[in-house]
Amino acid sequence: MDLSVMLPPGNILIDMFAKCGDLFASREVFDKLDCRDSISWNSLINGYILSGNFNEGLKLFRKMKMHLNPDPITYVLLLSMSSQVADLDLGKQLHCDMAKSGYDSDLVVNNALVDMYSKCGEVDESDKIFNRMEVHDIVTCNTVIAASVHSKDLSLGLRMISRMRTKGLMPDVATVLGILPICSSVAAKLQGKEVHGCIFKLGFEDYVPICNALIEMYSKLFALWCFRAEEAMKIELKCFVLL
């Protein structure tokens, strides 16, 4: 059920217009509201972020802080924006604000922090937050795996696969689609075969995007094998000529 039906009519309109891309109408309704709550502000901020109008979203966030305290959803929205533009300074400021507000123990907020630091290249900081978290869910793991692909840090993704086993977390479709690109390297080919076996156990073998990802993984591994075999043959040929 869409929870927006439980919101005041003004908030419903702000959210609807924002998600339809009509930010002018959304802002007009927002400005005419006599009383605004966090939902009003978050809906419009989200609209600006969805449209790529990050400056307006940030300006509205700063204006919001003058009237009421942002809630965890506000910070998750802003952290998402920081991740998209890789604005580490903004991300750190948001992190500081959240810690002061006591939101840094919230699971969803921590997932957003892990994502932000990873995509901004601060893998060590992302790892610290992950290790500090008392509770992890599949979203946390998928976030780290996606970040490892984004940063081309295969070791980070492989460590997460190992951690998932330790914590007994069951992979979902997003996990598998995130892991397979990591397994396209020769260094991770064994993990790739393990993931392939896991796909059958989970019943994902008929899911087209996963089939495509498997084909791509094995194609890349075969191409690398052919390249290495060709290089080895060249070396052998040079040795033969020298003899």
Q: Would you say 48 and 56 are in contact if contact means Cβ atoms under 8 Å apart?
A: yes
Q: What is the 3-state secondary structure (H, E, C) of 31-53?
A: HHCCCCCHHHHHHHHHHHHHCCC
User: CA dist 178 to 107, 186, 196, 234, 236, Å?
Assistant: 21, 17, 13, 36, 38
Q: Would you say 204 and 210 are in contact if contact means Cβ atoms under 8 Å apart?
A: yes
The pLDDT score that the predictor gives to residue 199 is 82
The rounded distance, in Å, linking the Cα atoms of 217 and 234 is 26
The rounded distance, in Å, linking the Cα atoms of 230 and 242 is 19
Strand runs labelled E in the chain: none
Q: Would you say 142 and 178 are in contact if contact means Cβ atoms under 8 Å apart?
A: yes
Q: Would you say 204 and 176 are in contact if contact means Cβ atoms under 8 Å apart?
A: yes
Mean local confidence (pLDDT), 145-171: 79
189 or 230: which carries more pLDDT confidence?
189
The rounded distance, in Å, linking the Cα atoms of 123 and 148 is 9
**pLDDT greater than 60 at residue 5:** no
C-alpha R_g of the chain: 23
In sequence order, the 6+-apart residues with CB closer than 8 A to the CB of 241 are: none
Give, in degrees to the nearest 5, the angle at Cα 150 between 168 and 55: 115
Rounded percentage of the chain residues whose pLDDT exceeds 90:
37
Instruction: Using the structure block, give the residue that is written with the tokens 């810690």.
Output: 99
pLDDT digits (tens, 9 = 90+) for 6-27: 457 889 999 999 999 999 999 9
- Minimum mean pLDDT range among 67-71, 124-128, 181-185, 239-243: 239-243
Q: Would you say 174 and 142 are in contact if contact means Cβ atoms under 8 Å apart?
A: yes
